Amino acid sequence: MDIHIPLPRIKLLNPDFPNKSTGIINGLSSGLLNWNDIAYPQMYDLYQTLLSNFWKAQEINMQDDIKQWDLLSATEQDVFLRINTQLASLDSLQTPTMCQVMDYVTDSSFKAIFAVIAQQEAVHNESYSYILSSLVPINEQKERFNQAKNDPIVRKRNELILDAYESFRENPSPQNLFQLGVNSINLEGIYFYAGFAFFYHLARQQKMLKTSTMISYIQRDEMQHAYFMAQFLRILLTENPELNTEANIEYLYTSVGQAVQLEKEWAHVILKDIEGIELSEYEEYTEYLANKRLRQLGLQNLFKERVNPMPWIHIFSDEMMNETKSDFFEQKSRTYAKVTQSNGFDEL
């Protein structure tokens, strides 16, 4: 396989092929999905977990936040709106990207999971609009969404992700699929957190709790998406050793490192006037997150190993909301050799 040649766009139905796909890409697959006959049965559990998280924005009544909105300082309001639309702009990329990947992945069970993720991204996107429409008039909503589009620092940090996503759109090759997966982890597993931290910071002062509830649902989804994408990449590299190269492992570390750097820069801009969030602490938190993502990929820590430096974020995390799944995300650091088919699955 040449990892730079575009993958074929898969026909909807190939009756001559088996239902259980012979590969996640370039596999023989009929296109029929029977969840009882799939190559990676653990994907069914992941699919179920994603579905059990189902929620929608309108379930959360914004009345309390509407009353509290005027009590926020002008700075808090400004940062609140900027972060809200910046998060919306990140989620806007995810829905179409996840849908596009479905056309090139041969395994139908993976297609189904990408479809659920795309649906959840659409809900996230809607929830940011819902929060905004509860708090400010339509003209300001529009202005804020335009601000997110034009903000140079937002653009700069989105570029890392956009480059990878656009490359896959132009040339849906295995190599570009790998890079898309890495940057999806950057987006869902690292980029959201300065924004989340701000809302949780308000919540610990008993402010805007409805917004924080919504944010914690989004976070729960994102952590599972990032986890799924890590599993997807591991399988991709195991099934396609041509991709499991030193250069690609290097790409992974470099790209996660860049995402950390860009996230720190963004935090310094957006959180600089917010009292009570220590930026140095947030920097450590970003590194802590990056290590966690790399371990999910079966790789080593890129940064110093530390305990969660912002335990108050943990209170709102899915580990706390969903105790039974706590070890789903907590994985031990291991020595990295090469990604193999079996590593990690015992922890699913």
Residues making contact with Zn ion (CB under 5 A): 91, 121, 124, 188, 222, 225
- Shortest spacing between CB 139 and Zn ion, in angstroms: 26
Identify which of 216, 8, 186 has the alpha carbon closest to the alpha carbon of residue 93: 186
> Is 128 among the residues known to form the active site?
yes
Is 199 in a helix, a strand, or coil? helix
Task: Pick the catalytic residue from 104, 128, 200, 288.
Answer: 128
Q: Which is nearer to Zn ion, 87 or 203 (CB)?
A: 87
Q: Which is nearer to Zn ion, 124 or 207 (CB)?
A: 124
Tokens 């706390």 correspond to: 320
- Shortest spacing between CB 25 and Zn ion, in angstroms: 21
Helix (H) or strand (E) holding 202: helix 193-203
Q: Which is nearer to Zn ion, 69 or 191 (CB)?
A: 191
- Cα-based angle 77, 81, 87 (whole degrees, multiple of 5): 145
Q: For residue 278, how many other CB atoms are within 10 A of its CB? A: 13
Measured distance CA(124)–CA(31) in Å, rounded: 29
Which contacts qualify for 153-159: CB closer than 8 Å, 24 or more apart?
Answer: 153/265, 153/266, 153/269, 154/86, 154/89, 154/266, 156/262, 156/265, 157/191, 157/262, 157/263, 157/265, 157/266, 158/89, 158/90, 158/93
- Shortest spacing between CB 297 and Zn ion, in angstroms: 17
Measured distance CA(335)–CA(329) in Å, rounded: 18
- Shortest spacing between CB 129 and Zn ion, in angstroms: 13
Rg (CA), the chain: 20
Tokens of 198: 């701000």
Q: Which is nearer to Zn ion, 122 or 209 (CB)?
A: 122
Q: Which is nearer to Zn ion, 186 or 238 (CB)?
A: 186
Task: Name the DSSP class of 10.
Answer: P
Q: Which is nearer to Zn ion, 78 or 126 (CB)?
A: 126
- Shortest spacing between CB 188 and Zn ion, in angstroms: 4
- Shortest spacing between CB 250 and Zn ion, in angstroms: 26
Find all residues with CB under 8 Å of 53, minimum gap 6, and list them. 120, 217, 220, 221, 224
Active-site positions read 128
